[in-house]
A = this chain, B = another copy of it.
Amino acid sequence: MEKEFVVGIDVGGQTSKIGVVDARGTVIAQTVIRSDTYGSDADAFIDALAAAVKGCIKEAGKEGEIRGVGVGAPNGNYYTGEVAFAPNLAWAAKQAVKFSDKLTKKLDGIPVSLTNDANAAAVGEMTYGVARGMKNFIMITLGTGVGSGIVVDGKVVYGHDGFAGELGHTNVVRHNGRACGCGRNGCLEAYCSAMGVARTAREWLEHSKEPSLLREVENITSKDVYEAAKEGDKVALDIFEYTGTLLGTAFSDFIAFSAPEAIVLFGGLARSKEFLYEPMMKAMNGNVLQIWKDKVKIVFSSLKESDAAILGASALAWEL
């Protein structure tokens, strides 16, 4: 019998989402497990994941009909099938885990294809989302961190070692840049992730006396900044202006690299579109080389966030 279904898995720091997907991109069954309750025990996590995958396939009634499993995970390597030194995954923070091999074994031989979460998102947008028909675009995921997936001529760029597309760790502030989780300073991720926005808020409030709704919030998150901006809070609006400007400036250099048709944004922080779009466009077009001025689009993912990561990962599995 032809195997007509695939499984997509989005491995995140806190939870992992699993879905069974048909050839049209419909998620016909899905489930979620926690990723953060296994400490450094990779095998325990993969056991739990395999059990959840089997349960999901059973629920969908598609046992024996799964062609393959596609996985998006932080630091997931397409070539080696390893998840290696991923700061946000306790079970892979200090080691290289042979993820694909282990999962295949637990799934009685169903083949597994792995890449990082941002590459999976790029494949998802190209297959089912706003990047349909685009052959050259750059996916930027604005979540807890900043990830990227670069598509050139219709294919994800993996590079020599499978780790290409770490644009969240390109430099945006050269002098006295903020410390980044990667151990260096001034990275895009340290400023333009959800964590970066919250950090900007805390720094600015500390160094000014400007009144702000945010002064009443404990443990400010990027969502708090968004809510305050919606209320017209000047500090919150300025934070988005600053964040959008840094993003747009960074994009102008990314464009010089691969001359994309569009930058595609996805992730929690991308929901602040109404405050980010204008400063991003202004900074991008103000800093880009003349030939690209007013030529490159910035578009936002239209996929339901809960589906997008699963769909992206699942799209990988069709190539197996």
Contacts and interface: CB of A to CB of B under 8 A. Distances in A.
Interface of A: 84-85, 135-136, 150, 152-153, 155, 157-167, 169-171, 173-175, 182-184, 249, 252-254, 256-261, 287, 289-292, 295
Contacts of A252: 171
A259 B164 contact: yes
Contacts of A160: 135-136, 259-261
Nearest to A256: B166
A161 B295 contact: yes
A120 B39 CA distance: 51
Contacts of A136: 159-160, 164
Contacts of A167: 256-257
B257 A289 contact: no
A260 B169 CA distance: 16
A290 B159 contact: no
A183 B290 contact: yes
B253 A170 contact: yes
A252 B182 CA distance: 14
A235 B287 CA distance: 33
Contacts of A289: 166, 169, 182, 184
A141 to B, nearest CB: 15
A94 to B, nearest CB: 12
Contacts of A171: 249, 252-253, 287
B257 A165 contact: yes
A260 B291 CA distance: 26
A260 B159 contact: yes
Given A152-B157, A155-B153, A157-B152, A291 B257 contact: no
Nearest to A295: B161
Contact of A184 (B159, B166, B287): B287
> What 8 pairs between A and B have smallest CB-CB spacing?
A159-B259, A164-B259, A160-B261, A136-B160, A166-B256, A170-B253, A169-B289, A163-B259
Given A85-B291, A150-B257, A162-B259, 20 more contacts: A136-B159, A136-B164, A150-B258, A152-B157, A153-B157, A157-B258, A157-B259, A159-B260, A160-B260, A161-B292, A161-B295, A163-B259, A169-B256, A169-B289, A175-B175, A182-B290, A183-B290, A184-B289, A253-B253, A257-B257
Nearest to A253: B170
